[in-house]
Structure 1
Amino acid sequence: MTNWIKAANPLSTIVGVDEARAAARMSSVALWLSAAWGAVGFAWMMTNLERIQTAMSAAVAAQTEGQSAKAAAMANSLVANGAQTTLIFAGIIVAVQLVLGWYQWTRPNRYIPIIFLLLSAYALLTDVFGIVSAGGIAVEATVMNPAWRTIVGLVVVALCTLLHFAGLRGALNLDKTAG
């Protein structure tokens, strides 16, 4: 267990190929953790699909109030299947993360950690900025995004960012020792 803790630490010193491989595999752990969180979100959306669709329709109705009937009809057509489309994309993203996590585990490389470090850091920054600019988590809590999902999501994204950074350090170290 100590080796995994050391591998997950983005500031630890990497000595040898085995430690570098273990650190590079932290990006796989981050992808699987993110996929697990995505699966939780997928399940939550499945159980609340009707409520989400109703909330989306109400939001569109409020935003198109006072506009022409044509504009309102166009906006309603855009969200008619919005929740189902979001569900499909969420499932695809979970599947891609699982596959890329497996690939990074079996063939550690630097490209997957670079891409997902950038994506997770961007997600973390935009989430925090969104909460700060909205006035706090209580403002963010809606039918489509309850406060518990926001808080746990921030923790997962922050942890994944650190694990992808550790994975990148391990992958770069593997490149040095191989070349």
Structure 2
Amino acid sequence: MSLISAMNPTAPITDRTQAIAAARSSAVAIFIGVAWGIVTTIYLATAAPALMESAFAEAAQTDPNVAGMEGMAGAMTGFVVIWAGLMVVIQIVLGLVQWFKPNIVIPILFTVLVVFGLGSALLGLMGPSAQSAAAGPMWFTVLGLVVLVVELVLHIAGIRGANAMNKMRAVDQDVF
């Protein structure tokens, strides 16, 4: 079974090779997230400062408490870019761990995070802040949602593969 066919979360898993390939699909999902994280970090570093400045300026017109805080947008953007870069590095490390030593903890953790991200993104699209000046372009949001859905499918396959590996390991220990 190739890695591509193992990425199908409904594919049967009958031997250890298939289980490892399925568990590694979670690592592939993490690396897709790394690629999207790099794109997002570049976007945040280039387009976000201007969007934040305009959002602060718009908010300052209606809220006197925000007046004078326009200068904070640059510092906030810098922090967000550094944070996004740090998250990319952490994803790389966890993706490598999942690839070389597949386990069930990492796919479960990332499944929870992806579901949270999907929920947050979808609720954000429906809320009153969706029309905010700080909102990114629609293509960016839609592409992010597509990436999250693909990651979710791959993490589910990863959970199935890691679970099958654990069952096979338990059977091997019972035999000896």
Paired residues for 1:80-91 under 5 Å: 81-91=75-85
Q: Name the TM-score, length of structure 1 as normaliser.
A: 0.84
Measured in 2, the distance between the counterparts of 1:140 and 1:109 equals: 41
Quote the residue 2:18 is aligned against. 19
In structure 2, the CA distance between the partners of 1:26 and 1:148, relative to structure 1 (3 Å rule), is same
| Residue identity (%) | 32
Paired residues for 1:108-147 under 5 Å: 108-134=102-128, 139-140=130-131, 142=133, 144-147=135-138
1:156 maps to 2:147: yes
Quote the residue 1:37 is aligned against. 36
Measured in 2, the distance between the counterparts of 1:167 and 1:59 equals: 45
> In the alignment, residue 3 of structure 2 is paired with which amino acid?
W
Q: Name the TM-score, length of structure 2 as normaliser.
A: 0.85
In structure 2, the CA distance between the partners of 1:62 and 1:80, relative to structure 1 (3 Å rule), is farther
RMSD: 2.4
Q: Find the residue that maps to 1:21 and give its secondary structure.
A: helix
Structure 1 residue ranges without an equivalent (≥5): 66-70
Q: Determine which of 157, 160, 176 is the counterpart of 1:169.
A: 160
For 1:34-89, what per-residue CA distance to the aligned partner results, in whole angstroms no more than 9, with x for missing partners?
01001001112222254134134324424523xxxxx4479668655111110010
Paired residues for 1:73-112 under 5 Å: 79=73, 81-112=75-106
Number of paired residues? Answer: 170
- The answer as to whether partners of 1:32 and 1:98 remain within 8 angstroms in 2 is yes
In structure 2, the CA distance between the partners of 1:30 and 1:63, relative to structure 1 (3 Å rule), is farther
Deviation at 1:143, TM superposition (A): 5.1
In structure 2, the CA distance between the partners of 1:11 and 1:97, relative to structure 1 (3 Å rule), is same
For 1:114-140, what per-residue CA distance to the aligned partner results, in whole angstroms no more than 9, with x for missing partners?
1000110111122123223459xxx55
Measured in 2, the distance between the counterparts of 1:151 and 1:23 equals: 27
Q: Find the residue that maps to 1:120 and give its secondary structure.
A: helix
